[in-house]
Structure 1
Amino acid sequence: MRVPRSREAAEAGTAFLAALIAGLSLMVPIDFAWTSRSSVLRLDLLVFSLPQAIGAGALIAVATAVLSSALGGQSLRWGVALGGAVLLFVNHLLGRHAVLGTSLATLNFLDSIAGGLILGGSGAGALSRSRVESRYSWATPAWLLGAICGVVAEETLPEAHPKVVEQHFPQNWPGLDTPPLWLIALALLVIGLRFLREPGAQPAEPHSIQLPILPIIAGALMIGVSLLGSRVLARHGDNLPAIAVTIAATAIAAILVALMLPGRDGAQVLLAVALAGAGSAILATSIPGWSIPGFMVLIALGLLAGIRWPGVRTAAVGVIGLSVYTVLAVAPGHPGVLIGLGQVLLALLAGYCFGAVAPRHGSTRVLGIALIYVPSPVLAVRGYTRRGHCPQSELGKSCTISDFTSFIPGWTATALAVGCALGLWGLLRRRPEHDPVRAP
């Protein structure tokens, strides 16, 4: 029987807002009005611990999705998301009234843990097969849209450092209180209402009982390799052998993870790793806030196109094409228009990649989404080409930060996309196609 439209819209809105808040909590470093007055040491600790916090939150999201799907029903899944929303609200409420010496890195880790709980719980609830009364649910694209928009919205925030950084000057950190407390409170309210509407006892998702641990192991492996590779290339981004070895290791890890997952579910991981690399090479470091609605529409169009005309191979070719485009966009020397076009293509492609692949297990989709949050080695290469050895420059000297002036990030993203595409080709040949019924 068809779910009433009003209820379906409410479920889709809840899924979107939960995923958006979770994504912002993972991607955006925590800050308050008093953050800009913190010491340089505390701000540096926050910056340097941010990748580890994102990785921890992403792994928590995967573990939450797997365990809540395997051990309980919708009440457990949305209950976990509600617990994460409560933690996020309390963390921001206490943080706003904290003393100046409070550890920002600790608050940020709590933010990432809360974001992981919300992302995993809401993802398991929105993507669950056992809850869908018809063949398809609008909660799925709504959750995916919110999760992807969390990455785009993060780019609208001003950078923590100006274009020229003087080492003796306390860092220019804008206190924006992001995500705002009112938005967290709204998410807490709608997730709480969704939790109260669920029955107290429901069976676990049968398709996840067969798979209680594999996505967690796969996520730990992929996230660990990505963080290690990013750490290496952040210091050796001009060393071509180091780049080659790191990108090869990342692609091999993605292929191994894809083979660990059942059937063709691993295709989501391979596309996510390649897409994260391409996005790291083309996405601008500052997007005007007025452009966010437009990017949301583009992502939604990509999602609908992927759902209507799914094609895993088409998505892989598109990621390779976008990676090559990032190289060509740098060639003119003044790539403003070309970079803008690249970001439009990225929004459409991101939506298409997640709409075109329908894994049987909702936890696999959560894993794929989590991987676009984790810093890609390509991002580390781009950061190095922008700053070089700026953090290690001599005291009192300044260093210029530039962007879109090097071909290396684009070629690095292309190499990673090709490696993942080869793995995808092998996976599709090795594994028979699953039944045509699309997972929600």
Structure 2
Amino acid sequence: MTIRWSGEGVETVTAFLAALVAGLSLMVPIDFAWTSRSSALHLDLLVFSLPQAIAAGALIAVVAAVLSTALGGQSLRWGVALGGVALLFVNHLLGRNAVLGTSLATLNFLDSIAGGLILGGSGAAVLARSRVESRYSWAAMAWLLGAIGGVVAEEIRPETRSAVTDQHFPQNWPALDAPPMWLIVLAVILIGVRFLREPGSQPAEPYSIQLPIVPIIAAAFMIGVSLLCSSVLARHGDSLRDIAVMTAATVVAAVFAALLLPDRDGTQVLLAVALAGAGSVILENRVPGWSVPPLMLAVAAGLLAGTRWPGVRVAAVGVIGLAVFSVLVVATGHNVVLGGLGHVLLALLSGYCFGAVAPRYGSTRVLGIALIYVPSPVLALRDYTRRGHCLLIDPGKPCTIGDYTSFAPGWTATALATGCALGLWGLLRRRPEHDPAA
């Protein structure tokens, strides 16, 4: 017998907080008060290993969601999330008291692993209860809001490298200590209570024999291709041939991963890959802190609109339009008004893309969320247009990073979104309709 503790309200708050903490753990480089005194080598290792750490955490999130769903009930799922947040707490506690010279890259990998466990376990828990309904519960909506909000909140951090060439680069590293310890402690308490309130004998969600491994294969393939293509464009972003090949490879990988998933669950993968590309061009690195609450409200509005008026074709066209809009923002010299409008449109569209699609299996939802965290090839191209070969020529020295004026990232995001939209059209024609959202 399940004990009701303030009902759905507490579970909703717990789901939001778990997803938010997980997102921040994945996206924000780990740092402490002593980080700025670390050597340039330690900080460079952290920066260069960050994409791999995010990719590892994203894959762990999918694995955790799949296995906890296939092998156990709610108690196991919340137990996985509790283990992740406990690891996060210990990692930050040790990091705060670590000696100068401790490997920041290692601590960051542990942070990403913890974030993946929290994201996968909590996602499997809250989405499993929504599977029996035609639409998401409030807890599932809160989890989606927190997961998407992790990307929004991550953008308020200052740049890790000074825009001005400075031989004292380590002193320019911003110490944010994100997620803050008080938020981690609160997450430990709420997730722990949620775990204790769940019965241990709840049966696992029924799956076919082959299904548990399929989302893991799709995730590993898609994340691996995105990481490879990002690595290539981070070094050869001035080659039109490489841009075209890497964009095409990303689209093909997204379509292949979508076809691996059952029924029309692959629509989430295609929309997430396209959205990550467009978002990589729209999002600025220095978003003012006061803008986070309005952007979170925009995400929530998009989620509600997506559940009320679902349409994956509308979402796909919207992502293409947003990518074209990003080119307009660059053409106008990064107009402040257009830039702010772009952030609002991205927040609305992000919510709509995840609200309009209701996959049959919760692990697919976790996969879609994980893909918006994984560095997109468009992000690598945008980074290259801002710094050129600077880091490749002399990694030990800081780079002068300016506002990008190239149209290449925007048009690449447009091509990526168009390719994913064509793949979505083919998937909808190929698969029978089971989900009214499609």
Q: TM-score, normalised by structure 2?
A: 0.96
Q: Secondary structure at the match of 1:81?
A: helix
Name the CA distance, whole Å, in 2 between partners of 1:55 and 1:307.
29
Q: Secondary structure at the match of 2:347?
A: helix
Determine the structure 1 residue equivalent to 2:85. Answer: 85
Kindly tell me: are residues 389 and 352 of structure 1, through their superposed partners in 2, closer, same or farther at Cα, counting changes over 3 Å? same
Q: Deviations over 1:337-362 (max 9, x none)?
A: 21111111000000000000000000
Paired amino acid for 1:371? L
Kindly tell me: are residues 306 and 5 of structure 1, through their superposed partners in 2, closer, same or farther at Cα, counting changes over 3 Å? farther
Cα displacement (A) at 1:165: 3.0
Alignment length, in residue pairs? 436
Q: Deviations over 1:377-399 (max 9, x none)?
A: 00000000111112145699875
Cα displacement (A) at 1:176: 1.6
Cα displacement (A) at 1:130: 7.5
Tell me, yes or no, if the aligned pair for 2:131 and 2:360 is still in contact at 8 Å. no
Cα displacement (A) at 1:170: 3.6
Unpaired runs of 5+ residues, structure 2, are none
Kindly tell me: are residues 355 and 394 of structure 1, through their superposed partners in 2, closer, same or farther at Cα, counting changes over 3 Å? closer
1:314-393 map, 5 Å: 314-393=314-393
Q: Secondary structure at the match of 1:432?
A: coil
Q: Secondary structure at the match of 2:355?
A: helix
Greater Cα offset, 424-433 or 334-343: 334-343
Kindly tell me: are residues 130 and 149 of structure 1, through their superposed partners in 2, closer, same or farther at Cα, counting changes over 3 Å? closer
Determine the structure 2 residue equivalent to 1:403. Answer: 403
Identity of aligned residues (%): 78
Tell me, yes or no, if the aligned pair for 1:62 and 1:219 is still in contact at 8 Å. yes
Kindly tell me: are residues 138 and 209 of structure 1, through their superposed partners in 2, closer, same or farther at Cα, counting changes over 3 Å? farther
Name the CA distance, whole Å, in 2 between partners of 1:193 and 1:117.
17
Tell me, yes or no, if the aligned pair for 2:43 and 2:170 is still in contact at 8 Å. no
Name the CA distance, whole Å, in 2 between partners of 1:290 and 1:394.
37
Kindly tell me: are residues 10 and 66 of structure 1, through their superposed partners in 2, closer, same or farther at Cα, counting changes over 3 Å? same
Determine the structure 2 residue equivalent to 1:293. Answer: 293
Name the CA distance, whole Å, in 2 between partners of 1:311 and 1:236.
37
Kindly tell me: are residues 135 and 384 of structure 1, through their superposed partners in 2, closer, same or farther at Cα, counting changes over 3 Å? closer
Cα displacement (A) at 1:166: 3.5
Determine the structure 2 residue equivalent to 1:11. Answer: 11
Q: Secondary structure at the match of 2:172?
A: coil
Name the CA distance, whole Å, in 2 between partners of 1:12 and 1:392.
46
Matched, 1:162 2:162: yes
Paired amino acid for 2:36? S
Cα displacement (A) at 1:295: 0.6
Q: Secondary structure at the match of 2:165?
A: strand
Kindly tell me: are residues 154 and 98 of structure 1, through their superposed partners in 2, closer, same or farther at Cα, counting changes over 3 Å? same
Determine the structure 2 residue equivalent to 1:274. Answer: 274
Cα displacement (A) at 1:333: 2.1
Q: Secondary structure at the match of 1:264?
A: coil
Q: Deviations over 1:71-118 (max 9, x none)?
A: 000000000000001000000001000000111000000000000000
Tell me, yes or no, if the aligned pair for 1:207 and 1:361 is still in contact at 8 Å. no
Q: Deviations over 1:285-313 (max 9, x none)?
A: 11111111101100000000000000000
Determine the structure 2 residue equivalent to 1:427. Answer: 427
Name the CA distance, whole Å, in 1 between partners of 2:279 and 2:131.
33
Tell me, yes or no, if the aligned pair for 1:65 and 1:366 is still in contact at 8 Å. yes
Paired amino acid for 2:382? R
Tell me, yes or no, if the aligned pair for 1:27 and 1:154 is still in contact at 8 Å. yes
Matched, 1:249 2:270: no
Name the CA distance, whole Å, in 2 between partners of 1:43 and 1:397.
12
Cα displacement (A) at 1:236: 0.6
Cα displacement (A) at 1:431: 0.3
Determine the structure 1 residue equivalent to 2:28. Answer: 28
Kindly tell me: are residues 196 and 339 of structure 1, through their superposed partners in 2, closer, same or farther at Cα, counting changes over 3 Å? same
